[in-house]
């Protein structure tokens, strides 16, 4: 389902999703309708604009938080005109499963966007590259990231976005074996405990970057 106050964008999104095999069960224009629609239709994914009427501030984000708390089975993909690392971390809190936070214009890279929707719907995570840049790119006085090779940093960023090893392979056009080597090296250099699954991995990476 889609919650977005711009009709043009909402319908564009619905078409993109519809044409790609998704079923759009509801389209709403404000946060109140969104809550009602989620309760009624229990969708696999709710795509939510942060700013919506009536106050045009962050009722979308508030509604997203509530949905995640009340309906853990509903995955939430939050779209925003601006992304802030702090807001991302707050929204996703300690539960990266079934959560996405993307810049609105990411929908223009349709294939990437659809991949993110599928990932979130499947219980995965999608964090906007801009957020990751803010976290990874942040300069620190004693920066442990300095020890990473440029390629390893790239892999770290993709992990932080929530991509799986397979996703990283496709993005970087390298073999799964190479990716695995990079991931192990990163965990070793950053002194992180190896994570059993992708969710834990996102959490560990983001927790590291946030500190």
Partner 1 sequence: MCDDPRVSVTGWIVDTPTKPARLAIALAGLGLGVIAYRVQIDNLNILGPFTTPTRAWAIVAVAWAFLFAGLVAWTRRPGNLVGPLMLAAGFALLLRQLRYSHDPLLFTVFFVLGELAYALVGHSVLAYPSGRVTDRAERALVKVGYATVLTVPLVTLFFYDASKPLLFFDPTPRQSELLVSGSAQMVELLQKGLVIWLYGVLATLFIVLILRRLASATPRARRMLAPLLLAAIAIALRAVFECVFTFVDRPFAYDYVFWWQIVGFIALPLALMAGLVRARLAQATVGDLVLELETTQPHGIRDALARALGDPTLEVAFWLPERREFADSAGRPVELPEGGRRAVTKLDQDGEPVAALIHDPSLLDEPELVRAAGAAARLALQNARLQAEMRAQLQKVQESRGRIVAAADEERRRIERDLHDGAQQRLVALALQLRLAQRRPGEHADPEVDRLLEAAVDELQAAVNELRELARGVHPAILTEEGLAAALDSLASRSPLPVSLEVLDARLPPEVEATAYFVACEALANVVKHAEASKAAISAWRQNGSLMIEVEDDGIGGARTEDGSGLRGLTDRVEALGGRLTIQSPVGGGTRLVGEIPCAS
Binding mask 52-81 for partner 1 (x = CB under 8 A): ----xxx----------------------x
- When asked if residue 139 is in the footprint of partner 1 (CB under 8 A), the reply is yes
Please list every residue from 84 through 103 that binds partner 1, using CB under 8 A: 84-87
Measured from the Cβ of residue 205, the count of other Cβ atoms closer than 10 Å reads: 28
Number of residues in contact with partner 1, rule: CB under 8 A?
Answer: 31
Q: What is the maximal distance between C-alpha atoms in the chain?
A: 51
**Which string of DSSP letters, residue by residue, matches 24-60?**
---EESSHHHHHHHHHHH--SEEEEESS-TTTSSSHH
Indicate the residue among 51 and 163 with the shorter CB distance to partner 1. Answer: 51
- In the structure encoding, which two tokens stand for residue 202, read together? 């996102």
Answer for which of 46, 107, 156, 183 binds partner 1 (CB under 8 A) is: 107
Residues that bind partner 1 (CB under 8 A): 6, 8-9, 12-13, 15-16, 19, 51, 56-58, 81-82, 84-87, 104-105, 107-108, 110, 134-135, 137-141, 143
């Amino acid at each position: 389902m889609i919650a977005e106050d711009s009709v043009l964008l909402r319908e564009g999104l619905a078409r993109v999703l519809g044409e790609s095999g998704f079923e759009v069960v509801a389209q709403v224009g404000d946060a109140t309708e969104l809550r009602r629609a989620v309760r009624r239709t229990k969708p696999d994914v709710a795509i939510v604009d942060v700013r919506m009427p009536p106050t045009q501030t962050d009722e979308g984000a508030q509604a997203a938080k509530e949905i995640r708390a009340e309906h853990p089975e509903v995955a939430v993909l939050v779209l925003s005109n601006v992304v802030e690392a702090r807001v991302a971390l707050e929204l996703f809190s300690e539960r990266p499963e079934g959560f996405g936070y993307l810049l609105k214009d990411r929908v223009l890279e349709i294939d990437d966007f659809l991949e993110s929707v599928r990932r979130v719907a499947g219980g995965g995570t999608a964090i906007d590259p801009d957020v990751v840049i803010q976290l990874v790119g942040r300069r620190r006085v004693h920066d442990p990231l300095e020890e990473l090779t440029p390629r390893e940093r790239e892999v770290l960023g993709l992990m932080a976005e929530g991509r799986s090893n397979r996703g990283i392979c496709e993005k970087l056009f390298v073999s799964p074996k190479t990716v695995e080597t990079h991931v192990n090296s990163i965990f070793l250099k950053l002194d992180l405990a190896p994570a059993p699954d992708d969710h834990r991995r996102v959490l560990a990476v983001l927790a590291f970057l946030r500190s």
